[in-house]
């Protein structure tokens, strides 16, 4: 039997390609644009041993490129707009071809604007177009190779990676669109319910924004922050089941009427329960009238028995209600308001 001995360069290439596939697979681990961009830039920095990777995206309805960069250790994504004709990136986008510039100081094409805005010093660039079939999605720039110069063989790797970067970013853009539509729909729904109650105009929008900010302040992240927004928007949708004459009553409510108002948390729970994706949001809404001292409703839960998101909604809901005029009283000052919210 003939034994085939694999050559060392062949083995090296096979191992490299395998590890490349694992790295590329990481682009598809999330659907969040920010997370995907972070993974792509960090992976390309590692593959090419470069100081930084920039991604320029061209959205279908825009006539400019959006610049993203994600430096290690930096949390905030920097977004800058670049004209389609500007610099090396513009050339690569227009010609749909990769380009290596190992000394940008000698290139007339190099556009200094981005360095001036970011405070980063570019020395060398390998830029390649992001494309899939005939569509062009933007350009990737690999900047400042740490060990020597970019070489022609690097372009082969770029050619291989380019469609995967494009697909990962396209998936994220589609997911963003669906999410925008979802938020648009629940905001419209909440506004329709809010229109039943003439004294709370703009309340839902303020509770959405304040819940998000407070959730961020207490250290919540990612999906939990999104849930705080959703719960903020939908917290009072159960009012759809409360008779108008009670909601619109210009005087203080009787005990019986107040008992009916209290049912709005139960109605919200019943409305949302058939939607399985709402299972983490429902407790935030159902318990948003509980009080830390146990004197709230619907179950009289106390302290940390009340889910954290419900406590967040409860604080901002009470704060906003007290900061607004009511037919039977004027809005409280910020100082008085804060005191009263925390007394509750
Ligand atoms: Fe409420």
- Residue 266 Cα to ligand 1 midpoint, Å, equals 10
Contact 285, 272 (CB under 8 A): yes
- Residue 261 Cα to ligand 1 midpoint, Å, equals 9
Q: Which two tokens stand for residue 277?
A: 């994706």
pLDDT at 170: 86
- Residue 168 Cα to ligand 1 midpoint, Å, equals 40
pLDDT at 74: 58
Contact 195, 293 (CB under 8 A): no
Contact 331, 324 (CB under 8 A): yes
Domain ranges, ordered by start, for the chain:
8-174, 195-343
Which of 78, 103, 77 is closest to 88 using CA atoms? 103
Task: Indicate which residue of 108, 191, 239, 251 is catalytic.
Answer: 239
DSSP per position, 189-232: HHHHHHTT-GGGTTHHHHHHHHHHHHHHHTT--HHHHHHHHHHH
Which of 340, 325, 197, 195 is closest to 261 using CA atoms? 197
Task: Give, rounded to a whole angstrom, the gap between the first and last alpha carbons of the chain.
Answer: 85
pLDDT at 256: 94
Q: Is 226 a catalytic residue?
A: no
pLDDT at 337: 56
What fold does the segment set 195-343 form as a domain? Hypothetical protein af1432 (1.10.3210)
Q: Over the chain (344 residues), what is each successive 10-residue block's mean pLDDT?
A: 60 66 82 84 90 84 73 58 81 91 88 77 92 83 92 89 88 89 95 81 90 95 93 95 88 91 96 94 97 94 96 93 67 60 54
Whether 195-343 and 8-174 are alike in CATH topology: the answer is: no
Which of 268, 260, 259 is closest to 288 using CA atoms? 268
pLDDT at 106: 87
pLDDT at 202: 85
pLDDT at 340: 60
What fold does the segment set 8-174 form as a domain? Beta-Lactamase (3.30.450)
- Residue 251 Cα to ligand 1 midpoint, Å, equals 18
């Amino acid at each position: 039997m003939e034994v085939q001995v694999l050559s060392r360069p062949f083995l090296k290439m096979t191992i490299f390609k395998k590890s490349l596939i694992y790295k590329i697979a990481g682009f598809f681990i999330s659907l969040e644009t920010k997370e995907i961009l972070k993974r792509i830039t960090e992976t390309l920095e590692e593959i090419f041993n470069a100081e930084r990777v920039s991604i320029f995206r061209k959205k279908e309805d825009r006539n400019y490129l959006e610049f993203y960069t994600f430096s290690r250790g930096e949390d905030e994504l920097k977004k800058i707009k670049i004209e389609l004709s500007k610099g090396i990136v513009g050339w690569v986008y227009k010609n749909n071809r990769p380009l290596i510039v190992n000394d940008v100081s000698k290139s007339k094409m190099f556009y200094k604007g981005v360095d001036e805005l970011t405070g980063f010093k570019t020395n060398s660039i390998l830029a390649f177009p992001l494309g899939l079939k005939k569509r062009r999605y933007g350009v990737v720039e690999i900047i400042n190779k740490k060990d020597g110069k970019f070489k022609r063989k690097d372009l082969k790797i770029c050619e291989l990676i380019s469609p995967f970067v494009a697909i990962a970013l396209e998936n994220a853009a589609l997911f963003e669109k669906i999410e925008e539509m979802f938020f648009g729909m629940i905001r419209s729904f909440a506004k329709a319910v809010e229109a039943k109650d003439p004294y709370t105009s703009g309340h839902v929008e303020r509770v959405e924004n304040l819940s998000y900010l407070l959730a961020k302040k207490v250290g919540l992240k990612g999906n939990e922050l999104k849930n705080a927004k959703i719960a903020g928007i939908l917290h009072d949708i159960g009012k759809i089941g409360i008779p108008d004459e009670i909601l619109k009553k210009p005087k203080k409510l009787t005990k019986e009427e107040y008992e009916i108002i209290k049912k709005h948390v139960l109605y919200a729970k019943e409305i949302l329960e058939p939607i399985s994706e709402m299972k983490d949001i429902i407790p935030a809404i159902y318990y948003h009238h509980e009080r830390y001292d146990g004197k709230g409703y619907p179950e009289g839960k106390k302290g940390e028995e009340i889910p954290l998101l419900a406590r967040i909604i409860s604080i901002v809901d009470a704060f906003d209600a007290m900061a607004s005029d009511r037919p039977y009283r004027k809005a409280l000052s910020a100082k008085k308001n804060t005191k009263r919210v925390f007394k509750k």
